[in-house]
Structure 1
Amino acid sequence: MKKRILSAVLVSGVTLGTVASQVSADDYDSKISAKDALISNLTAEQAAAQSQVNSIQSKVSSLEAEQAELEAENVKLEAESKKLSEEIQSLSSKIVARNDSLKKQARSAQKSNTATSYINTILNSKSVSDAINRVVAIREVVSANEKMLAQQEADKVSIEEKQAENQEAINTVATNKAILEDNKVALTTQQAQLQVAQLELAAQLSTAEDEKASLVSQKAAAEEAARQAAAAEEAARQAAAAQAAAQAQSVAAAQAAATAPAQSVTTQATEAATPAATTTTPAAPAAQVTTPAVQATTTTTAPATTTTTTVSYSTSGNTYPVGQCTWGVKSMAAWVGNNWGNANQWGASATAAGHSTGSTPVVGSVIVWPYDGGGYGHVAYVTSVSGSTITVMESNYAGNMSIGNYRGSFDVNSSGSHYFIYQ
């Protein structure tokens, strides 16, 4: 009886071990199925995320194309501005020369009373023919003066038109440069976002696939443990069957002895009980693997908003780009003309407008450094003078886009090539 109980316990222990291993394997199947579902979801989310990546890439490409277009336009406008500047310089020289000639003629006429001189010239003619010739000569002189005046007026109109066209080109270049700076920042930001989005997509899918591979490996280990437990169960079952068969034979022999005819000699039968060999194979412990829950987080990166700064300027009171040195001087000196161009073009424009230039600093004058500012020149308004030491108010100096005294007092002779424009 004790042997049968021992056999039952043995078989039960093996069976429970096998069931535990099977349950563990089944648990891995459910985890792998969950990971497959996660991978499937991530793959679906990748399509939407990839669309966003493509959108960012499109914006990056668009910004790069816009940068190229603006840079090309600036090259073209600066070439036009250079040509207009040369034409303005030429017209300015002609206007100044004619002004000098007309002033000399006016002074001469005032001194000699030209009208009386012309009459005396005609009256002193030796003959009618000589008088006619003198009248024709006088008419040619008057006509030449009229042509000079007409040409002077025409050149003044032309120079004003060219100055306005030149200023428009300069302002457009300034606006384009501001947009280029803004686009550069936006481009850097969006390129970084693009890289983050691409890496995030790859990392999410890679993590899920790695976790699935780990679960598959763990499942294989659990299945191997279950196989070993099943083999142990089969061996135990076979051992229990052999033991049961031996016990059955023993019972049958005992029954046969009990029914045999009585003999004169009573022989006490001694039952030799040979215990059946019991082979106990311990069940392989079920592999317990704890897999932490993985929460997949999909981050949606919003595309950057491109902010565009436009350089503003007044077309009436001050035509220069706000923040530039030319705008600053015009804001402080109302007598300065509009549309004088870049700082290095102010000398020609000022002389054409009747202003004089020189090398002596004067309070209220404009100082021009024609070779500063990357070749565009720089201007400032002189506020105090003490010998060669001056102070100025200016804009766009050392990155400051508002009007201020950023240098303090300085020796103008040590400040580089310069000249002054006087009111």
Structure 2
Amino acid sequence: MFLKKVVTSTVALGLLTVSVFNNTGLVKADAVEDTQKEIANNKSETDKLLKDIAAANADNIKLQQQISDNTTKIDNLKTDIDNSNKKIKELNGQIESAKVEVNDRTDALKSQLVALQKQAGNTVSGNVYLDFVINSKDFSDLVTRTFTVGKLNQANKEALAAVKEAKDQYASLLDQQEQTKANLQADKTELETKQNDLKEMKAKSDQQQADLNKKIEDNRATLVALQTQYEEAANAVKLAQEKVNVTTTNAESKSENKTSEKASEKANTDSNNNGNSIAKQESVTTDTAISQGDGGSHPVVAGNTYPWGQCTWYVKQVAPWAGNNWGNGGQWGSSAAAAGFRVDHTPAAGAIVVFVPGQSVGGQWTADGAYGHVAYVESVNGGSITISQGGMGFSNPAGPNTQTVSNAGSYIYIHR
């Protein structure tokens, strides 16, 4: 009869506890669970946005490089065009000089004709050269005059031919140079058109990154609100549980008072029947907390809850300001942004660099496709960064393992 009453009281107490908790806590618990799911979804979406930003930033860097290369080509073409203009000016000068020389040679020939005219006297045939020969005094004079006329004709012919040839060469070179200049100008125009297209593409890329960053900021604001909502719901559940505990304690107290007398009688009876009973004790062992990383045991370092031998553990060691609940390496960007840290693509010594899952690490190896990777930036040199890191893939899992990687602007950075 006593056992029946005890069981009845226990069942009644349990029903009371369930009833109280159902009325005050289950709805709150559901709210906590729903909020946790929303927080997880928010972080997942932020991770995706960070990957999108990394991809957009990589494209942006390529566009900027193309614009820079194009600018260099345009500048070189401008220099070539300037040189071509100088050459054209020089050739025009040489052609003008040849024209002057032709005129001078012609004037000289006229002077020679006038001189011969004076020596020949009155013309007989109408040809100055022929009259000069006809009017010779004797055979010897005829030979001399014929030789003189031949020499003058040959000299004038060769001189004029040479000048004309030079003039023709200059004109040909000028045509070639004009064509070269036209080709250079066409190439320059084409590059300038391409340059405008590249700048438009980069402007769109900049806007895309700005939009993605805006979404991340919106996500962070939403996450803050969700975390506040979660804390409120969790506190409500805690208060409901405390009320249940108080109700349970009161019910147990009443039940104990009602059955105390018979319980005492029952205890006396049990004592007589079980004088040789043995008290049971729980054995509690207190081992030192350890973290498994390389298959061995390693003491947990105060303030660092990440597994020993992982990249996250190393970075937390060298950058204690990093959070303890930021997840895998590839998730650190979104977690840090949600925690209020500045996250961007600007490398800086002392920052944490994030490699999203599957991202190339300076073209030397690839971050894990599921977990990503994090490292600590030791220094920055132009477009390269020197990092220190840990991880089971290195000879020294606990770090530091140093490496210099290029394309610094394509990675995500967390700044203190």
TM-score, normalised with respect to structure 1: 0.48
Task: Please tell me whether Structure 1 or Structure 2 has the larger radius of gyration of its CA atoms.
Answer: 1
TM-score, normalised with respect to structure 2: 0.49
Higher RCO, 1 vs 2 (CA within 8 Å, ≥6 residues apart) = 1
